[in-house]
């Protein structure tokens, strides 16, 4: 039995058939803000934001009181404060968030070994084998919520369903501090009334395309002729949306996560227009990506450049390599060629990002040739020197600033990086999201 209140919140309030719903999605409620309120209880019930305030800082997390004003994570702080002038802004303490995340994940692992963290504040659980010890999926979800509250003082929302996708949708519907069980037999009935934005892979642009076709709900997508949907969004996305719209998601919960990408990006305190400054920043980012790849023992086959112009337009370009690499110079060369196609004289650049995708373990495949052997040896030597004498002891000459030039921290809001992954914490944590 479930009920829906005046908002879109929907929670389970009584007995329900959870016999075929072994997948849980647990999502902490406004995690960064909630951790801050543990030591600032006087701020409870007030609009609170966590994020950067200097220059072009962004909102990493917003309390539910702030969200009522239309504030959300990843929003520029300047816009958030226009919408909610009385918001209280906190800089945030990542070390504290990591500590509480570790406590929460430990609770999950005490109830089932099948835990797949998605980010610092959410995870999928498969409780198929935990019934004998801990009860039914709904009982385990209830136990998780009670233990998280008792042991950390925080709250979480839990979705219980037959698949990962439906469990994640259910947890979002149950927020804040709720639990929603979607019986397997009710999956389609639960999904079809939801807006098309509830489908994974439907961002703003795709949503607009679907709305132009008159597709406003998940059910509309499910009943749309396949050929028409292909014409609107392409064959790959059309097939995926059709499956999700009918509750089909065969993915299992994986306890080990392979990084999908390694990247770094910078949003600048002022728009860059000088091509020398732009390419110097590109080299710095590529160097950081190369260092992380080598440290992780990975190589990437695809290099992706991300640019945001002064008018907020954002574009990406990807280049696939003949051989995967962990060499910063190769990453820079590929990103630089892509950059040449995207900027012209006087072009104002607000953000630059570089990432490596399609990762694999270094040495896992026989290379036909190594076009970067000399650069690879040089960069590994630099890695050894850095390990001994510290970061910055050796660096490309292009990155050594002349006297009188602005320092890196003076010109940028702060570098952001992420290796793979997906909401509040995963996308916008002042320096922690791609």
pLDDT in tens, the chain (434 residues): 555 544 578 999 889 999 999 999 999 999 999 999 999 999 999 999 998 776 667 898 999 999 999 998 888 888 999 999 999 999 888 889 999 999 999 999 999 999 999 888 999 999 999 988 999 999 999 999 999 999 999 999 999 999 999 999 999 999 999 999 999 999 999 999 999 999 987 888 889 889 999 999 999 999 999 999 998 888 888 999 999 999 999 999 988 666 678 999 998 888 999 999 999 999 999 999 999 998 888 889 899 999 999 888 889 999 888 788 999 999 999 999 999 988 877 789 999 999 999 888 776 554 444 556 666 667 767 666 666 556 555 555 555 554 444 443 333 333 443 333 334 433 333 232 22
DSSP state, residue 195 = B
Query: What is the C-alpha to C-alpha distance for residues 113 and 253, in angstroms, rounded to an integer?
Result: 10
Q: Given CA atoms 163, 118, 191, 201 in this order, what sign does their dihedral have?
A: negative
H helix and E strand count, the chain: 17, 15
Q: Determine whether the annotation assigns residue 424 to a binding site.
A: no
pTM of the model: 0.67
Q: Facing residues of 356 across strands?
A: 262, 303
Q: Helix, strand or coil for residue 77?
A: helix
Q: Which CATH architecture has domain 261-418?
A: 2-Layer Sandwich (3.30)
Given the residues 122, 242, 265, 281, the one annotated as active site: 122
Residues 218, 196: contact at Cβ < 8 Å? Answer: yes
Residue 312: CA count within 13 A, CB half-sphere: 3
Q: Determine whether the annotation assigns residue 274 to a binding site.
A: no
Query: What is the C-alpha to C-alpha distance for residues 273 and 270, in angstroms, rounded to an integer?
Result: 10
Known active-site residue 122: yes
DSSP state, residue 76 = B
Residues 164, 23: contact at Cβ < 8 Å? Answer: yes
């Amino acid at each position: 039995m479930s009920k829906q209140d005046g908002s879109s919140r929907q929670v389970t309030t009584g007995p329900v058939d959870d016999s075929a719903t072994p997948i849980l999605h647990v999502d902490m409620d406004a995690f960064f803000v909630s951790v801050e309120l543990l030591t600032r209880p006087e701020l409870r019930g007030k609009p609170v934001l966590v994020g950067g305030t200097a220059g072009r800082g962004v909102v990493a997390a917003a309390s539910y009181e702030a969200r009522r004003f239309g504030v959300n994570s990843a929003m520029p702080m300047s816009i958030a404060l226009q919408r909610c002038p009385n918001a209280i802004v906190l800089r945030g303490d990542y070390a504290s968030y990591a500590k509480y995340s570790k406590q929460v994940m430990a609770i999950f692992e005490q109830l089932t070994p099948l835990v797949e963290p998605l980010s610092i504040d959410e995870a999928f659980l498969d409780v198929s084998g935990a019934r004998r010890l801990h009860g039914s999926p709904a009982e385990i979800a209830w136990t998780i919520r009670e233990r998280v509250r008792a042991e950390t003082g925080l709250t979480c929302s839990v979705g219980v369903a037959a698949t990962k996708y439906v469990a994640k949708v259910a947890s979002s519907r149950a927020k804040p501090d709720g639990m929603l069980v979607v019986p397997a037999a009710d999956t389609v009935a639960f999904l079809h009334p939801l807006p098309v934005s509830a489908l994974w892979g439907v961002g703003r642009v795709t949503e607009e395309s679907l709305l132009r076709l008159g597709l406003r709900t998940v059910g509309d997508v499910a009943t749309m002729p396949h050929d028409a949907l292909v014409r609107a969004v392409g064959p790959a996305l059309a097939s995926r949306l059709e499956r999700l719209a009918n509750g089909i998601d065969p993915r299992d919960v994986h306890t080990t996560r392979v990084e999908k990408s390694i990247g770094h990006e910078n949003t600048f305190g002022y728009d860059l227009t000088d091509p020398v400054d732009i390419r110097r920043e590109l080299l710095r980012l590529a160097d950081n990506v190369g260092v992380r790849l080598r440290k992780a023992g990975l190589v990437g086959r695809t290099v992706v450049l991300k640019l945001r112009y002064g008018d907020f337009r954002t574009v990406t370009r990807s280049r696939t390599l003949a051989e995967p690499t962990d060499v910063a110079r190769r990453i820079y060369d590929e990103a630089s060629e892509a950059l040449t196609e995207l900027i012209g004289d006087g072009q104002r650049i607000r953000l630059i990002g570089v990432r490596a995708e399609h990762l694999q373990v270094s040495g896992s495949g026989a290379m036909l040739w190594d076009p970067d052997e000399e650069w690879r040896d040089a960069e590994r030597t630099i890695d050894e020197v850095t390990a001994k004498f510290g970061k910055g002891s050796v660096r490309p000459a292009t990155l050594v600033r002349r006297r009188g030039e602005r320092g890196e921290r003076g010109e940028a809001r702060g570098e952001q990086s992420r290796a793979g992954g997906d909401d509040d914490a995963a996308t916008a944590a002042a320096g922690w999201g791609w």
